[in-house]
Structure 1
Amino acid sequence: MVIGEGVEWGLHCCVALAWLDDHAPIATARLAEIFELPPEYLKKRLQPLVREGILESTPGARGGYRLARAPERITLMDVVAAVEGRTDAFRCTEIRRRGAGAARAKSEFAKPCGIAQAMGRAELAWRRELSSQTIADLMGGAHDNASKYTRSFYEHATG
């Protein structure tokens, strides 16, 4: 499974917006400056988050982006689903019905095979893990070195 960099940009922007939250929209140019990205590129990456109600976008000279909900109410899975879509990573095509299986009775394929079941359990575990973590958690709930670095980065970039 490969998750596109749009998810990474989306998550980082959500964290930055949470740190910068003063109830006013943050200009696209300001967000783009933090990450040294072209504003138009970043704008395209944030559009799915607006469509899914994770971010709010305000047009105009004083416009920009802000979180549409509290950081505690935005899960990592929300962002992944907004950017990557909600389709399953593994799609069983029932290849066991081809070749030697083509002549078998359809009733033999009434239940998913062990491979489809295992992949489904793995994906469910992955989705549950991402659903259990929020933007607020990324902002500093953990005490590991990665979280300390991330917090330091945003404090420096925003302050």
Structure 2
Amino acid sequence: MKMGEGVEWGLHCCLTLAWLGADTPVPTARLAAAFELPPAYLNKRLQALVRAGLLTSTPGARGGFRLARPPEAITLMDVVTAVEGPEDPFRCAEIRQQGIGAGLPAAEFAQPCAFTTAMRRAELAWRRELAAQTLADIMAAAPASAAERTRRWFERPAAR
């Protein structure tokens, strides 16, 4: 399973906003600079998080993003789904009914494809694991130095 880099970006931005406990919105440009990311593309990922209710967005010169919920109420799966969408990563095209299986009676295919069943089981385990972990869990597991370094960086004036 391959996820786009936007998932990583979204996760790190959410963690950063959680560490900052932002009373004021953090601009996209500032978040992008912190990770050396392209602001326009990052903004698209952040807007997906807003649409999912994970972030709030304030427009304007003093605008930016904040967490919409407390860190303990945002799961890793919430972020993945917001950025990647809810679709299943494995899609069975029923190729067993083509080629050597073409023309066989429908009864031959009454049971779901074994690969579809195995993939779905694995995907559900993956989703459960990500849904069981929150931003608060990640914050607790991260070194305190990472949180402090992040706070110090954001306290500095933005480079112009």
**What displacement does 1:23 show?**
2.4
TM-score, length of structure 2 as denominator length: 0.88
**What displacement does 1:45 show?**
2.2
How many residues align? The count is 152
**What displacement does 1:30 show?**
2.1
Q: Percent identity?
A: 64
Question: How many angstroms apart in 1 are the aligned matches of 2:119 and 2:39?
Answer: 38
**What displacement does 1:21 show?**
1.3
- Structure 1 residue 43 corresponds to structure 2 residue 43: yes
Question: How many angstroms apart in 2 are the aligned matches of 1:65 and 1:39?
Answer: 13
Question: What per-residue deviation string (whole Å, max 9, x for no partner) do you get for residues 98-131 of structure 1?
Answer: 1121121112212212111111100110111111
More off after superposition, 99-108 vs 50-59: 99-108
RMSD, aligned α-carbons: 1.4
Question: How many angstroms apart in 2 are the aligned matches of 1:155 and 1:107?
Answer: 62
Aligned to 2:6: 6
Question: What per-residue deviation string (whole Å, max 9, x for no partner) do you get for residues 10-60 of structure 1?
Answer: 000000000111422112222122212243232122111111111111001
In structure 2, stretches of 5+ residues that fail to align are: 153-160
Q: Where do residues 102-121 of structure 1 align in structure 2 (5 Å cutoff)?
A: 102-121=102-121
Aligned to 2:150: 157
Task: Return closer, same or farther for 1:73/1:16 CA change in 2, 3 Å cut-off.
Answer: same
Contact (CA 8 Å) 2:19, 2:150: kept in 1 or not? no
Aligned to 2:157: none
Aligned to 1:122: 122
